[in-house]
Amino acid sequence: MSLQRDADTALAESEARYRALVRASSSLVWTTAADGQIVDMPEWRALTGQTIDEVRGWGWLNALHPDDRSRVEVVWQAAVDARSIYETEYRIRHRDGAYVWYRVRGAPVLEDDGGVREWVGLCVNIEDQKRAAQQQLEAEKALRDLNETLEQRVKAEAHDRAQIWNVSQDLLVVADREGKYLNVNPAWTAALGWSEADLVGKTSEWLLHPNDREKTRAELTRLAEGHRTLRFENRLRDKDGTYHWLSWMAAPDRGLIYAVARDVTDLRNTERKLHETQAELQRVSRLNTISEITASIAHEIRQPLAAVRTDGDTCIRWLSTQPPHLEKASATAARISENAHRASEIIDRIQALFRKTEPALSWLNINDVINDVVVLLRGEMRYRDVLLSVELQADLSPVLADRVQLQQVMLNLMMNGAEAMSEVSERPRTLLVKSEAESTGAVVVSVEDFASTTQQK
């Protein structure tokens, strides 16, 4: 009997030490009767604020979250009936009203005969783990949502790019560094008639206008070196053999060239027609100006022609005398030739202004251009009672310009100056035409009328 008491005492002390150790931890220890009914759980009451009567039996379930009670009751009863390990998770309402997650594990304490003496269990606080797990789940969900959003965005952007690629009226192309086409959009077929199969795998060499091949090769070299093309124009042949003007923008990226071209053939044709129209308007303007000074020009021509006629009659008389006055006849013939040349020069200058020609740049002596116009307007200035004063600096540098256009400008300036003085009566009407060189080497031509005392340059 003494040995039995000693064993029981040792067991009780061991259990007491175990319970004290558990209580010293952050876990909650509990025990129940063999049938699973709660008699009292001091630690549970301290945690939840329930009384002994509220805990007893199944009353402890009321301290659980309402969503967990029925499930926990079923699991606990099943473990008691099977005398198996009891394991679950639920939320316990603390004294302050907050619900906290716990992991619960219980086991039956068996007698020597296999019967259940009691149940012993632990409730371990797993709120931080649950919160971390929930945060991880939320983060994973957010990541999945983000990936899904990005995937949808990528799909949408890819679809948009495909739509732009397919519906763009501009010619789009991806090429390698040597200019070999890797991909082209449908606009190539619409604009030039060539299919994708006609173009992919080839360069544009076979389509280029012969005059554009060298400069296109040079531009490809620039692109291969990493430079961008902001505006470059060349001509490509369509399937019918007609050349189209294309204006290109291109950029290199990771060994490839991405380029876009716009067909500017219509624009080029419009510009050409506009240029032709402007040239025609200038020619008409010249005609109008000439028509205004027709009388004075006719007078300028009539003078040398009248002199030719008079000198001709005189020359005949000198030759008709006996003996002929050859010396006087020769001098008269020289005057005839001089006046004929003068009339011829006036006619040539008028024809130059009337002539319908494309602008032609050449190196000109600006003084010669001014003198041409002065000869034409000398009679008009006399008719308008304008004193024409000309001061031309010698040894001026040649200028690169179109002779007829410069003549037209000078003609307009001098006529405008003369008209500006039409109301001047209290002082002489003077029109000063000057040419001079600036310190920079530029040639300056000025037309100054003394009605407004302003210069036109």
pLDDT at residue 76 in the model: 92
pLDDT at residue 65 in the model: 94
- Residue 93 backbone dihedrals phi, psi, to 5 degrees: -85, 115
What would the mean pLDDT of 199-213 be, rounded to a whole number? 92
Q: Which CATH architecture has domain 360-457?
A: 2-Layer Sandwich (3.30)
How far apart, in whole angstroms, are the C-alpha atoms of residue 87 and residue 123? 10
Q: Is the pLDDT of residue 51 over 60?
A: yes
pLDDT at residue 194 in the model: 92
Interval 250-298: pLDDT, tens: 999 988 999 998 988 888 888 888 777 666 666 666 666 666 666 566 6
Of the chain, the percentage scoring pLDDT greater than 70 comes to 81
How far is the CA of 226 from the CAs of 31, 178, 222, 251, 424, in angstroms?
81, 13, 7, 8, 67
How far apart, in whole angstroms, are the C-alpha atoms of residue 254 and residue 392? 62
Interval 76-98: pLDDT, tens: 999 999 999 999 999 999 999 99
What would the mean pLDDT of 402-430 be, rounded to a whole number? 82
How far is the CA of 331 from the CAs of 303, 326, 340, in angstroms?
19, 9, 14
How far apart, in whole angstroms, are the C-alpha atoms of residue 175 and residue 341? 66
Segment (H or E) for 296 = helix 294-320
Helical pair 326-354 and 265-292, crossing angle rounded to 10 deg = 140
Segment (H or E) for 305 = helix 294-320
Interval 16-27: pLDDT, tens: 665 565 555 557
Interval 333-362: pLDDT, tens: 787 777 777 677 667 666 666 565 566 688
Under 8 Å between Cβ of 377 and 415? yes
Query: Could you tell me the fold of the domain covering 168-263?
Result: Beta-Lactamase (3.30.450)
| Closest to 178 in 3D by CA, of 109, 255, 248, 112 | 255
pLDDT at residue 418 in the model: 84
Under 8 Å between Cβ of 431 and 447? yes
Given the candidates 3.90.550.10, 2.30.29.30, 3.30.450.20, 3.40.50.300, the CATH classification of the domain at 19-125 is 3.30.450.20
pLDDT at residue 291 in the model: 63
Under 8 Å between Cβ of 389 and 431? yes
